[in-house]
Structure 1
Amino acid sequence: MTALEIADIIGIICFATSGFLIAVHYNLDILGIVISSFLTALGGGMIRDVLANKTPYIFTDTLPVILVIATVFISLIFKLHKIPDFEGKTAFIISDAIGLVSFAITGSIIALDNNFNFLGVLILAFLTAVGGGTIRDILINRVPSILVSEFYGTVAIIVGLFMYILHLFHQTNILTITILFACGVLLRLVAYYKKWSLPRL
């Protein structure tokens, strides 16, 4: 299994959980919950594939769909929807951070495989990481997280930057990507708990 496949699987599971919890928080029905989970987990990947001139892989591979359905089912079994104030819970923050960094890495890998330049890598990393969640937030009439959350989308851009640097020095392998993944998740968690944010006008 390649680094791209591993990162994609991790990201799908984590973001499907995020979409599920937010849908429950906004009191959506079961169809709304499924749609929210699918959009959060797969929306960014679809945007990534379209920009990379590829058929979105969710139309050619059944694994992503199975992962989302299984995640929703398991979330229901373990009654994750009963957790109060879930967005402030450590488990949710970690899950969201893992999904964010995983998808930033997959976006970067796809961009590099398609010979995108520096800007292309950053944009694809960013859109893959935040695209699904942004579509979901707009659909449920909520201000997208990237516009209000402290140091959220910035983490995806930083991960994309380091992926590009690793590529320049021919160091994109499982070890370096794993280290970058861990550092990216740690950066997001520190930024959240330290309440780091970009300057405001």
Structure 2
Amino acid sequence: MDDLAIFLIPEYIGIASASVSGFLFAAKRNCDWLGVFVSALLTALGGGFMRDTIVSRPLYSFTHYMPCTIVIIMLILSALFKLQRRSDIDKKFIYVATDAIDIVSFSIVGSIIALEYNLNIFGVAMIALCNGVGGGILRDILFNEVPWFLKTGLYGTISIVVGLCYFFMNYFGINSIIAILMLLVFGVVFRLLAYYMNWGLPKLK
């Protein structure tokens, strides 16, 4: 679990970012406070729910206080600063950057946990994907929409790539803290380039 400890800070940043994303998502659809809370909770923690369910372990977010506490704090701050009235908030660099940290750190943590439970390469890639974008999947399904990552940018692709990279790093024994942090930087830069360069997989015509 030492590898996981180094990711507490970026993971908490990711939870905060995802909470704001869920807040804005629900606010734009005129949800009440319960809808806003559920949207933020699923967006921020849903990937962890899926990960822990797949590997059959108690849900981390419900056995530790910090994840849910961060969600509640970010909801209060988002409401106090009336972020729902700022239509450009999700285009700001700080938001895009923390969102990138969100998906990459979640994907790496998912990969670490998958290997702890002796999953093979396919399991590691799937857990990385679920942990990285699972929250958005659950949120979009709840709101009866096509999951956003299936049609936008390289969100899911980056999660899978990060998961595969970590699998091979671990296989060849290159899984020191420095190596994992380099993978985090690589994933974040990859996501930022994909966002600002409008990269995406070819669409079926």
TM-score, structure 2 normalization: 0.91
Q: How does 1:177-192 map to 2 (within 5 A)?
A: 177-192=180-195
Aligned residues: 201
Residue 65 of structure 1 is matched in structure 2 by: 68
Change (3 A) 1:39 1:171: same
Q: CA deviation at 1:198?
A: 0.8
Distance 2:11 2:90 in 1: 23
Change (3 A) 1:161 1:123: same
Residue 186 of structure 1 and its aligned partner are, at CA, apart by 1.0
Percent of paired sites with the same residue? 43
**Residue 86 and residue 144 in structure 1: after superposition, are their counterparts in 2 closer, same or farther (change >3 A)?**
farther
Deviation at 1:4, TM superposition (A): 4.5
- Displaced runs of 4 or more, over 6 A: none
Q: How far has the Cα of 1:181 moved from its partner?
A: 1.0
d(CA) in 2 for partners of 1:105 and 1:11?
12
Q: Which residue of 2 aligns with 1:18?
A: 21
Moved more, 22-31 or 49-58: 22-31
Q: Which of 157, 173, 184 is the matching residue for 1:154?
A: 157
Unmatched tracts of structure 1, length 5 or more? none
Note the C-alpha offset of 1:59: 2.1
**How do 1:29-108 residues align onto structure 2 when only pairs under 5 Å count?**
29-108=32-111
Distance of 2:79 and 2:195 partners within structure 1: 27
Q: Does 1:198 pair with 2:196?
A: no
User: Partner amino acid for 2:18?
Assistant: F
- Whether the aligned pair in 1 keeps the contact of 2:10 and 2:101 (CA below 8 Å) is no
**Further displaced range: 78-87 or 154-163:** 78-87
Task: State the match for 1:176 in structure 2.
Answer: 179
> Is the 2:26–2:35 Cα contact (8 Å) retained in structure 1?
yes
- Deviation of 1:158 after TM superposition, in Å, equals 0.8
Flag structure 2 segments of 5+ consecutive residues without an equivalent: none
